[in-house]
Amino acid sequence: MNMIEIIEKKKLGNALTAEEIDFFVAGAATGSVPDYQLAALLMAIRLNGMNREETKLLTLAMTHSGDVVNLDAIPGIPVDKHSTGGVGDTTTLVLAPLVAACGVPVAKMSGRGLGHTGGTLDKLESIDGFSVSLTEEVFLKQVQSIGLAVIGQTANLAPADKTLYALRDVTSTVDSLPLIASSIVSKKLASGAKGIVLDVKTGAGALMHTTEDSIALAQSMVRIGCDAGRNMVALVTDMGEPLGSHVGNALEVKEAIDVLAGRTGGPLLTVALELGARMLVLGGAAKDVPEGKAKMEAALHSGAGLAKLKEMIVAQGGNPACCDDVSALPQAAVILPCPALESGYIASMDTVGLGNTAQAMGAGRRTKEDVIDPAVGFVMQVRIGDKVAAGEPLATVHAKNDASAREAIAAIQRCIHMSKEAVPPCKLIHAFVSSESVERL
Ligand code: URA
Ligand code: CA
């Protein structure tokens, strides 16, 4: 097989064969094809696309480029959920304990923050002592005994994706439907769950900015997952503004605990219940979405969800004190309000800018070696459509020092755009996508 001929073929807009795709993916996983040829093919795919068959072949080749976790030892139907990435998107920490409390095993491999988006592993590590690196054996035992574990991907999970993702990040080839779909679905197939609910974000803070592009991505991923024998569905949900009000690692853990303790709700809870209800359906614990939602709500109100989170924290070596007293979480040195500079309605937000602001404060990494400051970030006090007067708080910043707080305040003020005219609030759930249909909501 000749890599130059494969690049030439895709450059001219032709479809690649299974053998050609396998050769490329093996080259990415083993290093036998040099980065410059991988990058050239990635750009040809970005510009000329892939058909449905090619996208599926690419995904399956990437899935089998490393270990495929076998969850057969877990009783019941293990389910997983995956978000394409957002800001203030703490749904995993809310829904995973609730779903597990409803009797459906959650065996979840999560990621770290990427670019402007936060990562579940980084959030969990703000809990004193919590470990996200369990061996596969300990991971399976924990899911068998308490029905819930959240860990990092094992080292040899979809290694082709590790190479390709790193190249895409630095060659402007991230925003390609077949490349995103194959990257996400290969990792989900390799991590073993039988039922998978995808949360495809849409809007200013998402990889796909329009509802139609996000639905197309969701359809592509769901088709591949179902063709591969898994039960996969997707919700397209809004990322035109941060989902939860808290942005930052310990702050997002605090918000998840506040939700599970029944002290707060809002859009984060709404989306978590929608996703979780569908996980219960796929896991066989609910006959339909309304029943799933009712079970999730019952687990919330009884405190069973919070108790399950506590069990997971203890099982993974963490100090569960934060579940009873959120002030046990890391606290920032400087807490200051971010005032509105003018009066009006909140019209739109630069959600990527908000995510980048949290990252610059120390909540995310700019290089692989950066160490995260778990305490920093901000708490939004407004949502799109709210009316505010000049001087009223847009957010509260939690910073490591005064200089960082001042920079964050100015950045947040730039990211929140005001209008003199009234603005309607954002729609939260845009569509439900299954292998049979697209339901626009
Ligand atoms: N998340 C991934 O894992 N891969 C992508 O390509 C985009 C988001
Ligand atoms: Ca394995």
What does the pLDDT look like over 73-107, one tens digit per residue?
999 999 999 999 899 999 999 999 999 999 999 99
Q: Say whether pLDDT at 186 is over 90.
A: yes
Q: Which ligand has the shortest distance to the CA of 180?
A: 1
Q: What is the pTM of this model?
A: 0.94
Closest CA to 412 of 359, 357, 365, 364: 357
Atom index in ligand 1 nearest the CA of residue 179 equals 6
Q: What is the DSSP letter of 67?
A: B
Which residue, judged by its Cα, is nearest atom 6 of ligand 1?
A: 180
Span 387-427, pLDDT tens digits:
999 999 999 999 999 999 999 999 999 999 999 999 999 99
Does residue 5 or residue 207 have the better pLDDT?
A: 5
Among 85-89, 171-175, 294-298, 349-353, where is mean pLDDT lowest? 171-175
Provide the pLDDT confidence category of residue 169 given band limits of 50, 70 and 90: confident
Cα-to-centroid distance, 343 and ligand 1 (Å): 38
Could you tell me if the CB of 180 is within 6 A of ligand 1? yes
Give the number of other Cβ atoms within 10 Å of residue 440's Cβ: 10
Report the largest interatomic distance among the alpha carbons of the chain, rounded to a whole angstrom.
66
User: CB of 217 within 8 A of CB of 177?
Assistant: yes
Q: Is residue 21 very low, low, confident or very high in pLDDT (cuts 50, 70, 90)?
A: very high
Helix (H, G, I), strand (E, B) or coil at 365: coil
Angle between helices 159-169 and 18-30 (to 10 degrees): 80
Looking at the annotation, which residues are catalytic? 82, 161, 168, 183, 187
pLDDT band at 172 (very low <50, low <70, confident <90, very high): confident
Q: Which residue's CA is minimally distant from atom 2 of ligand 1?
A: 184
Q: DSSP characters for 74-142?
A: SSS--EEEEE---SS--HHHHHHHHHHHTT--EEEEE---BTTB--HHHHHTTSTT------HHHHHHH
Best-predicted range by mean pLDDT (106-115, 203-212, 311-320): 311-320
Mapped onto helix, strand or coil, the DSSP state of residue 2 is: coil
- Give the pLDDT confidence score for residue 262 in this predicted structure: 97
Give pLDDT tens digits for 150-166. 999 887 899 999 999 88
For ligand 2, a single-atom ion, the residues with CB < 5 A are: 67
- The preferred substitution site among 163, 165, 167 for testing ligand 1, maximizing ligand atoms within 8 Å of CB, is 165
Ligand number nearest to the C-alpha of 156: 2
Expressed in angstroms and rounded, the spacing between residue 180 Cα and the centre of ligand 1 is 5
Q: Is the pLDDT of residue 340 over 80?
A: yes
Question: Looking at residue 55, what is its pLDDT?
Answer: 97
For 325, residues 6+ apart whose C-beta sits below 8 A from its C-beta are none
Q: Is the CB of 184 under 6 A from ligand 1?
A: yes
Residue 183 CB less than 6 A away from ligand 1: yes
State the DSSP code for 420: S
Q: pLDDT tens across 56-79, in order? A: 999 999 999 999 999 999 999 999
Q: Which of 80, 162, 167, 180 to mutate to test the pocket of ligand 1 (most atoms within 8 A of CB)?
A: 180
Tell me what the pLDDT averaged over the chain comes to. 95
* pLDDT tens sequence across 347-384: 999 999 999 999 999 998 877 678 899 999 999 999 99
CA of 58 to the centre of ligand 1 (A): 14
Rounded to the nearest angstrom, the distance between the alpha carbon of 241 and the centre of ligand 2 is 38
Q: What is the pLDDT of residues 22-59, one digit of tens each?
A: 999 999 999 999 999 999 999 999 999 999 999 999 99
